[in-house]
Amino acid sequence: MIDLNTYEEVKLEDVAEYARAKKGKVYPVGTSTIQISATRGQIGYLTEPRDIETKHVAIVPQAGINPKYFNIVMQKNVEEFIYKYGSGLNIQEKDVGKFPIQLHNSETQDAIAKAFGYTEIQEQIAQQEIDSLKELKNTLLNKMMC
């Protein structure tokens, strides 16, 4: 049953493996990243296997946790985390484990991830329409001035 109001408060270190990214290592789909050097709290998500810059920490949630949902929760909580654990422009790797995570049941995780996925697709469609209209505008302006 989908229940947005019932969740467990945990720390990242209790529900995910994390370590500073290693140069040349390819990380799996579903890996979340957080920039810890010269950061403003940038959170990333891998949609395809690839390497990650060493200024990031790679975070792989435990089996049974929807990786996209996990990333959404990280994005939601990053400002609070940076405020509490940021030291100047950096975050200590050891502090990443203290990142607050709210865990809903599996069905709720999947529903949240699906809703955000739909929203991202709609955003991409809208951006493509905007880009097409800008291109049309420039073309018409150029023809008008000739």
Place of tokens 């989908």: 2
**16: nearest Cα among 54, 69, 52:** 69
Q: What is the share, in percent, of the chain residues with pLDDT greater than 70?
A: 100
**Paired strand residues for 87:** 90
Nearest to 33 by CA among 54, 15, 63, 14: 54
Render pLDDT for 92-126 as a digit per residue (tens, 0 to 9).
999 999 999 999 999 999 999 999 999 999 999 99
Tell me the pLDDT band of 146, cut-offs 50, 70 and 90.
confident
Q: What residue segments make up the domains of the chain, in order of their start?
A: 8-145
CATH of domain 8-145: 3.90.220.20
